[in-house]
């Protein structure tokens, strides 16, 4: 576990004081470490030989429960989410929809109602909890209102999407904040990264250690390639006329309506743009030590000189507004067209 010392200490204290509650909600941006924290909590709850002295959540990693949980094979610890739902429906990856459905919730409720077989707890880790359909959320609420004994539900949710307030109120909420760059860079160097690469990835990660580790281990460097492609599109759109901009909005609308990975690629691009315009705002204020795209600082300085602070601010607000409208199922061409025509400045 990289960072989040307060959350780690809090969960270990729940175990030590025998005050483990039936439901936890771990929130934070993708890649910040939500699943790793949930898995470590499950390991600490299940471990047969927890070490007496160890920083963080205590588990040996060697006993039978620890080994099975790490291999995702323990009968009493199950992980659900959109990927699980896709497999259970027997359809191609990315085609099971963008929301956890009521059938998934019913299966979780049935599974969690059964007593544990080998350890003291029946542990359910539920990824993508922010995607519950309304009916699914209401059905899940019943499980939270009448939780089975010896059951622990750990919900994982992105922090930028709202959840049913009645679900949130029935969970112990653990909000994960971005991890300092130096802490992420140190972890990457311990994995074998050079100092230069470690600091670059730590900056690009925006405080998300999971993102940084995945990118370091990925020989294709897909996330950096996605970033570069998104910035290439942005550079082409800046001088483009209305017709070209609307054509690009149509392209993204088609991707959004296709669902699955194509839909997600639109969100990825908008998030990359959001980070880029945030960096432009920082450069305008001479706060270059805080930018994320440190490997493109020269380009940021050149672009920052082209736009006024109000143009940068309007673009940041425009991207955020477009993201919210897409998530609210507003017609994607309207949301994206407004962004490209009315908010994106021309250079």
pLDDT digits (tens, 9 = 90+) for 237-246: 999 999 999 9
Give residue 76's domain range: 5-175
pLDDT tens-digit readout, 107-136: 999 999 999 999 999 999 999 999 898 899
Percentage of residues of the chain with pLDDT beyond 70 = 97
**Does residue 95 register a pLDDT over 70?**
no
Residues 162 and 185 in one domain: no
Are 90 and 185 part of one and the same domain? no
Query: Do residue 295 and residue 206 come from a single domain?
Result: no
Same domain, 111 and 189: no
Tell me: the pLDDT tens digits for 325-338?
Answer: 888 878 999 999 99
Domain end point (choices 114, 141, 175): 175
Mean pLDDT over each residue of the chain, to the nearest integer: 91
Tally of domains within the chain: 3
- Cα 234 from Cα 347, distance rounded (Å): 11
Quick one: pLDDT band at residue 45, thresholds 50, 70, 90?
very high
Same domain, 154 and 212: no
Residues 17 and 163 in one domain: yes
- State the first-to-last Cα distance of the chain, in angstroms, to the nearest integer: 44
> Domain check: are 199 and 67 in the same one?
no
Distant-in-sequence contacts of 46-55, Cβ < 8 A, 24+ apart = 46/74, 46/76, 46/77, 46/119, 46/120, 46/121, 46/123
Same domain, yes or no, for 186 and 162?
Answer: no
Residue-wise pLDDT tens digits, 273-311: 999 999 999 999 999 988 999 999 999 999 999 999 999
Asked if 213 and 226 sit in the same domain, the reply is no
Same domain, 90 and 191: no
> Is the domain of 254 the same as that of 195?
no
Q: Check pLDDT > 90 for residue 148.
A: no
Write out pLDDT tens, residues 49-81.
999 876 789 999 999 999 999 999 999 999 999
Domain identity same for 74 and 196:
no
């Amino acid at each position: 576990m990289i960072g989040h010392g307060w959350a780690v200490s809090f969960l270990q204290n729940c175990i030590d004081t025998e005050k483990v509650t039936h439901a936890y909600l771990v929130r934070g941006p993708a890649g910040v470490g939500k699943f790793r924290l949930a898995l470590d909590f499950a390991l600490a709850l299940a471990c047969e030989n927890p070490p007496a002295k160890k920083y963080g959540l205590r588990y040996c990693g060697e006993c039978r429960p620890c080994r099975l949980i790490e291999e995702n094979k323990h009968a009493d610890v199950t992980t659900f989410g959109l990927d699980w739902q896709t497999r259970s429906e027997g359809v191609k990856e990315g085609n099971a929809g963008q929301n956890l459905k009521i059938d998934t919730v019913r299966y979780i409720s049935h599974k969690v109602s059964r007593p544990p077989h080998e350890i003291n707890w029946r542990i359910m880790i539920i990824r993508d909890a922010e995607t519950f359909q309304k009916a699914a959320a209401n059905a899940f609420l019943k499980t939270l209102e009448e939780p089975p004994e010896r059951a622990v539900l750990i919900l994982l949710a992105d922090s930028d999407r709202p959840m049913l307030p009645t679900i949130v109120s029935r969970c112990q909420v653990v909000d994960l904040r971005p991890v300092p760059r130096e802490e992420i860079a140190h972890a990457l160097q311990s994995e074998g990264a050079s100092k230069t690469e470690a600091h670059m990835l730590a900056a690009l990660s925006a405080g998300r250690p999971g993102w940084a580790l995945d990118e370091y281990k990925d020989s294709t460097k897909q996330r950096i390639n996605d970033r570069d492609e998104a910035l290439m599109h942005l550079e082409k759109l800046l001088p483009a006329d209305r017709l070209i901009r609307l054509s690009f909005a149509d392209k993204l609308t088609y991707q959004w309506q296709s669902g699955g990975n194509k839909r997600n690629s639109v969100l990825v691009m908008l998030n990359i743009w959001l980070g880029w315009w945030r960096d432009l705002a920082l450069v305008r204020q001479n706060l270059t030590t805080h930018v994320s795209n440190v490997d493109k600082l020269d380009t940021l300085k050149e672009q920052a000189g082209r736009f006024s602070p109000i143009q940068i601010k309007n673009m940041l607000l425009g991207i955020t507004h477009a993201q919210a409208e897409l998530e609210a199922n507003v017609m994607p061409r309207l949301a994206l067209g407004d962004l490209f025509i009315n908010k994106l400045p021309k250079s």
